[in-house]
């Protein structure tokens, strides 16, 4: 016996859906756009999940200016700074120097030749002035350039990195993107995405840090 099955007309449609946008903050220890000040005028927010906001010192909403992308912060190079207490353990990625491998990225517009040893990223201790990690302008007393200057000092007051400098000169009073990578004591600089010729190698010291 043969049965005849009714005919069925099937229609298929396919659509390629765009991949969901990735959250660029994922995996970040902190992300400070430096493009706004809190309503009370005391802090600028960390947009990474753990929200280690920076406290303003001698700064206000008046320091928010046009940046490379959107707004940024302007500093007087003398008494104005931002800081965070990193001793609480609320953000396990801080202090940053506790991590064997790390990357620091920022946009900056600064005149290194006109400003001696001005730090634009630093970690230190609130209990003593001995340990520190500094990224700043050229520390030379004269003949300064637009190079990045790195200084690292241990709890024992030993300068394990004594003002090592980049080859490139991004601190030339125009906007540049800087990235510093540290792979267990091997430091490389990237200036506008291009690897700098300088390679810094150092032995990681003991550093008891509690603020940035």
Say if residues 77 and 64 touch (Cβ distance below 8 Å): no
The first and second tokens of residue 184, run together, are 């267990």
List the pLDDT tens digit at each of the 212 positions of the chain.
444 444 444 444 456 667 777 776 677 899 999 999 999 999 999 999 899 999 999 999 999 999 999 999 999 999 999 999 999 999 999 999 999 999 999 999 999 999 999 999 999 999 999 999 999 999 999 999 999 999 999 999 999 999 999 999 999 999 999 999 999 999 999 999 999 999 999 999 999 999 99
| Stated pTM of the model | 0.86
Strands 81-83 and 71-73: unpaired
**What whole-number distance in Å separates Cα of residue 129 and Cα of residue 118?**
16
């Amino acid at each position: 016996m043969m049965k005849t099955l009714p005919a069925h007309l099937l229609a298929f449609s396919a659509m390629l859906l765009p991949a969901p946008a990735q959250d660029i903050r994922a995996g970040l220890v902190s992300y400070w756009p430096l493009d706004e000040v809190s309503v009370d005028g005391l802090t600028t927010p960390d947009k990474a999940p753990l929200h280690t906001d920076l406290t303003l010192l001698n700064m206000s909403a008046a320091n928010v200016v046009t940046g490379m992308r959107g707004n940024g912060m302007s500093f007087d190079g003398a008494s104005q700074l931002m800081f965070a207490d990193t001793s609480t353990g609320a953000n396990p990625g801080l202090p940053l120097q506790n991590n064997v491998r790390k990357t620091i990225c920022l946009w900056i517009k600064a005149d290194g030749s006109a400003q001696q040893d001005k730090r634009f990223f630093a970690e230190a201790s609130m209990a003593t002035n001995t340990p520190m990690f500094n990224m700043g302008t050229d520390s030379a007393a004269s003949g300064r350039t637009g190079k990045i200057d790195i200084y690292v000092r241990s709890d024992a007051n030993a300068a394990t990195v004594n003002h090592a400098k980049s080859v490139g000169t991004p601190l030339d009073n125009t906007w540049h993107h800087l990235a510093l990578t540290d792979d267990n004591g091997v430091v490389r600089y990237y200036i506008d995405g291009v690897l700098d010729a300088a390679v810094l190698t150092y032995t990681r010291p003991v550093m008891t840090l509690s603020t940035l």
